[in-house]
Structure 1
Amino acid sequence: MTLDFTPDLAEIERRVEALLFAAAGPLSVAEIARRLPEGADVGGALAALRTRYLGRGVELVEVAERWRFQTAEDLGFLMTEEREEPRRLSKAALETLAIIAYHQPVTRAEIESVRGVSISKGTLDLLLEMGFVRLRGRRRTPGRPVTYATADRFLEHFGLARLDDLPGVAEMKAAGLLDLSLPAGFETPDPSRALGGDDEDPIEDGDAPEFAQDFVGG
């Protein structure tokens, strides 16, 4: 002899709750009912759940004759994420960054010599602001020009453990990081140059780079 078992309202409420949490979108009463025993009081379960969740962080609401759980309206601001759009580097900025990486420590004049053109205003500003480049020192030559080197952010961004992990020139060109027209003699990195150097003095606190005052446009 088989006994029919009809879940009570509390059990139906649990099942409706589970269905709504697992659903990819809102469910209608008919869609819920198809997953429950015949004769289940879906309307009663929905009403009970709506009352139980009223005033909670998550509430049961009816939208277009379908039911779903959603964040309480007054807490919507918690779900708003401010995203900062990644800043894309121009071709000139990428070339400048590559030259600094491969020739560091290097002055602005030396960068321009390798590129064959003047650095457009703002290129070094952007690289410094993004943390890819740092002020390294002042060359012991007339005018005491500032020298530039890569910062830790450069290694982190490009997934490099150290400077000697930089790819070869051919790989840089293939990746579009170097212009194919760069002059011959472009060097591969020598990390020891970035670590030492007897021809410059360290940047002192408050020492400002000269490009902020006398940047050459181009």
Structure 2
Amino acid sequence: MPEVNEDQTESLFSAPPMAEQERMIEAVLFACAEPLTLRELEARMPHGCDVAEAMVHVRRRYQGRGVHVMKIGDSYALRTAADLSYLMQKETVEVRKLSRAAIETLAIIAYHQPVTRAEIEEIRGVSVSRGTVDQLLELEWIRFGRRKMTPGRPVTFVVTEGFLDHFGLENARDLPGLKELRSAGLLESRPAFGLMPTVGDGEDEPESTEGQSELFED
């Protein structure tokens, strides 16, 4: 049996240099269309790699570049810089227009999650059809959350990482607040059916079920 010297033994059981770990992370993120967690990255890399530390260096190196490493929930992905998105406008995009009911339901879930179907209907003032929920589930923008500890143990709905990724958000706390929506002309001077009292700019305004926001125009 051939002898293994000390240097060879060390190379077999020690993690590669940090620079090499960074290259590995770049390669995996580039090859994967879906965001990956640190645990998923670690499973692909040699034993002993400090994936969290390597990720810090990779993200820092990509700051200000044409692509950057975006954190989406607990996952990471290579994405085009937002200010360069206009360069992609010639790509063929399949447009799937959401119904007014689906947009309203999605907004309620995003701002009030975890939320039950009954709570969605209470906020909207009308019933939520199964087709509306199924459409959002099919798009993988919402998913089932934990059941509430209330009579009947109703299931709740929450937004997914796919929703955050599509809208360029790290987490639900990055959703625009009332001031941002109004300044962009997406909201009238009053909030629509109490959609956003808990997220955003902290404005203490009464909820209203009167009128409709331009955000939900067909």
Query: Same fold judged by TM-score > 0.5?
Result: no
- Structure of greater relative contact order (alpha carbons < 8 Å, 6+ residues apart): 1
TM value normalised by structure 2: 0.43
